[in-house]
Amino acid sequence: MTSVATGGPRIQDVNSRYQELYRDVDSEFRDRGGPNPIPYSDLWDWYGRWSQPDLKSYQSRRNFLRDLFGGAARQVNQGAGGGYEATGWERIDRTITEAKARLASATSEEHFQTVGLLCREALITLGQEVWAPTRHPSVDGVKPSDTDARRRIESYLAVELSGGANEEARKHARAALALAIALQHRRTATFRDAAMCLEGTASVISLVAIVEGRRDPAEGG
């Protein structure tokens, strides 16, 4: 929207791609039960708006879109990963915050893939934080590398959530982990892929934070 309104490509060259992305985003907002704050389903509609006297300059159009997408970003952040509570693992928290911000502003496959890569980094760091080789033997006998988030976290869960009483929690964590990892490198990434990847990643991190006692109420609170 910014590029076509500030001397970039012609609308007829990019409108079909924009409409496809818009449909994905609109569907996602409807699935979340909220209105789509972006009213322009077609770039020609957007052209009709930016042609008005109050948007004559490139800067005024940029400012208009900044405010428009700022509202959209707030809605997104209340959704995917929106309930994420800081864990105290500084690097992990910083990475999830960045992933949420990237998702809020993403408009292309490359942007959505970046969200997946940030989720991957967060899970790698989580595995490095909690996995201990002597306490958490590999579930399949293969020693996990420093960046093997799946094996490290699965081995951690097998020990720390062992027993029948923890079976459902273990299943939930493994399912969320599998979802996040499956979506991280999807080359045809969409908004939904990125949002689900972030949701799964945040869920795994939050569950492990609970197991580690990082959600326990403060003494005397």
d(CA 75, CA 185): 25
Which pLDDT band, with edges at 50, 70 and 90, does 83 fall under? low
Res 167: pLDDT: 86
- 164 is written with which tokens? 């029948």
Which pLDDT band, with edges at 50, 70 and 90, does 221 fall under? very low
Higher pLDDT among residues 135 and 196, named by residue: 135
d(CA 123, CA 118): 9
Three-state SS string over 35-65 comes to CCCCCCCCHHHHHHHHCCHHHCCHHHHHHHH
How many helices (H) and strands (E) are present in the chain, helices listed first? Answer: 9, 0
Higher pLDDT among residues 130 and 81, named by residue: 130
Higher pLDDT among residues 204 and 183, named by residue: 204
Higher pLDDT among residues 16 and 71, named by residue: 16
Res 111: pLDDT: 86
Res 70: pLDDT: 66
CB 105 within 8 A of CB 111: yes
Q: Return mean pLDDT, the chain.
A: 85
Which pLDDT band, with edges at 50, 70 and 90, does 171 fall under? confident
Transcribe 156-187 into DSSP letters: HHHHHT-SGGGHHHHHHHHHHHHHHHHHHT-T
Average the pLDDT over each of 19-23, 47-51, 68-72 and give the range with the smallest value: 68-72
Each residue's pLDDT tens digit, 19-43: 888 887 777 666 655 667 788 889 9
Each residue's pLDDT tens digit, 96-153: 989 988 888 787 888 888 988 999 999 999 999 999 999 999 989 999 999 999 999 9
Average the pLDDT over each of 93-97, 169-173, 178-182, 215-219 and give the range with the smallest value: 215-219
Q: Which long-range contacts (CB under 8 A, 24 or more apart) does 147-151 make?
A: 149/120, 149/123, 149/124, 149/181, 150/123, 150/177, 150/181, 151/127
d(CA 45, CA 175): 42
* pTM recorded for the entire structure: 0.63
Burial-class residue 112 by CB neighbours within 10 Å (0-12, 13-18, 19+). Answer: buried
